[in-house]
Each structure stands twice: as structure tokens, then as C-alpha cells.
Structure 1
Amino acid sequence: MAMSGGSDDGEPMMEMNTTPLIDVMLVLLIMFIITLPKPTHAVKVDLPVNDPRQQKPPVDPQKNKIAIDPAGTITWNGAPVDDVTLRQYLDTAAGMNPEPELHFQPDPNARYEVVDRTLAVIKRSQVTKLGFIGNEQYRSDF
């Protein structure tokens, strides 16, 4: 640093000590950085507002479930539907890209006539991703 030794001939040192000058400059720099105002620019973005009363669409884009209870009631994702509404939901699902999975789960005590009629509606709707779930409940019957 500035502590360079001169010659031993007793002459005074001719170099200036710059250490205090550098220290003062660093303190001033830090003070200027601290006192800078925060940037106040902003970008206006209109975000959608989430409405808690809004009903979700009846056709889920991932997977949908058709169930038949022992009384013969057909349900779409837990909501009772008739054959016409079921066909509308199936046509909507078949038109989506990518097509959502359709899970079919009839109760073991449901009438075969209702299950057969529902499968006919599904077949006429051109749904390609159909899976039967809950088949393990029939394991002990055979």
C-alpha cells in the first residue's frame, strides 16, 4: 500500500498516503447507495378475478366419471343426469383436445338394462378413452 519504505538515507518520504482517501471514498459510496430511492416503475397487469360463486364446467378436461347406482341413477362426476344430458357431456368431452379420460363404474347391483343403455350412449358418442373402474369388486363372484 502506501507504506513503501524509502531509502535509509534519512530523506523524507515523497509518496502520499492514499489509504484514508480510499476509506472516505468507500464510505461515501455506501452512503450514496443507501440513500438512493427505490425504483417506482410498475407494469400494469389485468389479472382475472376468481369468483367463488362461479360453477366449474361439468366436463373436466382431465377425467370424468360415469357411475350407476343400484336404483339405476346415472351420475356424471357425482351429479345425476339423464340420457340426453349424458350424450351432450360425452360429445363435449369427445371434441376436446386432448380428449379426457372417461371412467365407467356401475354398481354390482345395478340393472343390466341400465348399464347396457348407458354403454350404448357412450359408444354412439365416439368417445375413444373409456375405462372400466372398480372391477375388483367382482373378483370373488367368479
Structure 2
Amino acid sequence: MAAIWLISATMVMAVYTNPAHAILVDLPLPTMSGDLGSLSTVGNRLSIARDGTLYWNSQLVSEGELSKLLDQTMVEFPQPALWFEPDGDASYESAAHVLALLREKQLLDRCFRFSNAPLYRQYESPQPSELPTFQRRDCDMPSGY
């Protein structure tokens, strides 16, 4: 009698297995040219060192060079992400000066992100009515940031 129960239980377990837990995601098909492009998204990091020097993607730049780089960023489509990373000991004046330049270039939009700044200081956000309105552009924003 026990053998019959054992065989029956084995057959039931073989027929009724546990369903697999999966999330189905539709992935885009590759293009006909076979060029899939870069797997990582494009982004730029603007850093301010303790002494006020500016770095664009870890390369030392002057304010004039930065202005030209920002102009180039404006015409790229989709617009690359821009991470602003002032050093914790950088002066507020130098950070505010760079933010004013970014506002002048209309780059304080949804592609702009502070990177690691909350670790050092707290910035007060203006009221929504005080924010400038800019033309919406597509943004090549990587996930996780």
C-alpha cells in the first residue's frame, strides 16, 4: 500500500511541477546593419576640485573650454546625461558660478544630476514657480543614477 502511495506521489510531482518565477521582458531586435552601438549610455561628469579647478570627464579644462564643451552638449541628440560633482571642500562660490553657467547654457534640465553632492552639503530647492522653463529634449540617462 505504501508503494502505491509513493508511486502516485512521484507521478503527481512529475506532472504538477512548481511554476518558474520569471519576469518576461521584450528586448528590441537588432538592427539590420548588425551595429548594436554602445552598451553603455553616454554621459559627462563635470567636477570641481577643492581649489576651484574644473574637470570635464576627469580632464582639466578652463572655463572657456568648458563653455565650448557645454555648447557641443546642447546640440547632441539624445542629450547625454550631465553629472555635476563638486568636491566636498570646494567653495560654494565656485559651485554657484558653474551652476550659473549651466543655467545660462540651459543645461539645468532633466539630464542634469548632482553626483555625490548630498554627501557633503544640503541644497535648498527653489519653488516650482521660480524654476526656469526650458525646451524638453530627449535625454540619454543611464539607469541607476
TM-score (norm 2): 0.51
Q: CA RMSD in A?
A: 1.9
Higher Rg? 1
Instruction: Look up the match of 1:77.
Output: 57
**Unaligned regions of 5+ residues in structure 2, if any?**
1-40, 122-145
- 1: distance between equivalents of 2:97 and 2:53? 12
What secondary structure, in the 3-state scheme, does the structure 1 residue paired with 2:55 have? strand
TM-score (norm 1): 0.52
**Unaligned regions of 5+ residues in structure 1, if any?**
1-60
- 2: distance between equivalents of 1:135 and 1:113? 15
What secondary structure, in the 3-state scheme, does the structure 2 residue paired with 1:100 have? strand
Instruction: Look up the match of 1:137.
Output: 119
Q: Percent identity?
A: 32
| Structure with the larger RCO, 1 or 2 (CA within 8 Å, 6+ apart) | 2
Choose the corresponding residue for 1:98, options 67, 70, 78: 78
Q: Which amino acid aligns with 1:66?
A: L
- 2: distance between equivalents of 1:136 and 1:120? 19
Q: Which runs of 4+ in 1 moved over 6 A?
A: none
Choose the corresponding residue for 2:95, options 91, 115, 122: 115
Instruction: Look up the match of 2:5.
Output: none
Does the alignment pair 1:63 with 2:63? no
**Contact 2:86/2:117 (CA < 8 Å) preserved in 1?**
no
- 2: distance between equivalents of 1:124 and 1:90? 10
- 1: distance between equivalents of 2:50 and 2:103? 22
The CA deviation string for residues 41-94 of structure 1, in whole angstroms up to 9 with x for no partner, is xxxxxxxxxxxxxxxxxxxx7100000111111100011111111111011111
Aligned length: 80
- 2: distance between equivalents of 1:105 and 1:111? 13
